[in-house]
Amino acid sequence: MSPQSSPPNLDQGANNILVSATGSNTYTSATLVITKSGGVSDMGATINSAGPWQFSWMPAQGPGTYVGTATVTNATGCWSSVQQVWQVVVPACNTCAAMGPSDPDPSAGSHKYYRQQNTIGNSCSFNLKITSASIRARSICPTCATPLKLQKLQFLPTCNGGVDANRSCTVNADCPSSTCNTTTFSTENLNLVYSAPGLGANVSTSETATVDFSAASLTIPANSSNAKFRWIFSAITPVWAGSTSALESVLEADVCFAQGANLCSPSCITGIRLEP
């Protein structure tokens, strides 16, 4: 039966429990019973098939110690059981999240390297809400303009066209407006979640631009990896002045998360380098 006994710990989202059996017997069913220590039965289910058997369990009694007992029965009525003991915890939301590095773009044309796009993943079994995002420069190349002028921020959700491809996108829940693209950033004017006033917000080694999403609903679905942010700077203050290390600035971000049902505690990933 997997997962094995803790560690690692489980969270309060939907957990997949796989029961399997080996040998030459003909197996007919598996039963899974999960009980919380000091509590009552949290789950009891039977699957009548030859196996392996996949169960889904969402802890209903909050954090604590849970004992899972799987019983497999063969065609002659013989049975065998195995137990695992899991610790269910409330993790910090930042332990679920990761942001992937990438080079700024475009790399050709009259205006180069003024857009910074990064993927955002969620490894936990529940959705995460982004509550804020900040960006600053870790270093500015000697020939680069400073401060950089952040003009826009785009967000691409994970729904149609993403790993959660069977779920329709929902305006406001997944997208910032009714004109919602869900596969790529087709233009610089859709999927906007921030537009800076004037010439743009200052970004330098001593200046941080922060966008507050606490009143919005930017969601990263459970077990997903390809939601995206794209920071758009003024073309006259690009992230890079060229493609050699001496001409490349380095940006970093802080992104904060929460969870509507408090399945994780609000927290941030900080100092994330945005370029490789």
Within 8 A by CB and 6+ apart from 132, the residues are 210, 211, 212, 213, 214, 254, 255, 256, 268
Minimum mean pLDDT range among 23-37, 54-68, 121-135, 181-195: 181-195
Quickly name the fold that domain 15-88 has. Answer: Immunoglobulin-like (2.60.40)
Give the percent of the chain with pLDDT over 90. Answer: 74
Task: Dump pLDDT digits (tens) for 68-114.
Answer: 999 999 999 999 999 999 999 999 999 999 999 999 999 999 999 99
CA angle 163, 164, 170 (to 5 degrees): 135
Q: Thinking of the domain 93-273, which architecture would CATH place it in?
A: Sandwich (2.60)
Greater confidence, 166 or 42?
A: 42
Task: Dump pLDDT digits (tens) for 17-48.
Answer: 999 999 889 999 999 999 999 989 999 999 99
pLDDT given for residue 171 in this prediction: 52
If you average pLDDT over residues 47-71, what whole number do you get?
96
Q: Which ranges in the chain are annotated with CATH 2.60.40.1220?
A: 15-88
If you average pLDDT over residues 137-145, what whole number do you get?
96
- DSSP string over 142-179: TTS-SSEEEEEEEEE-SBTBSTTTTS---BTTTBSSSS
If you average pLDDT over residues 51-69, what whole number do you get?
95
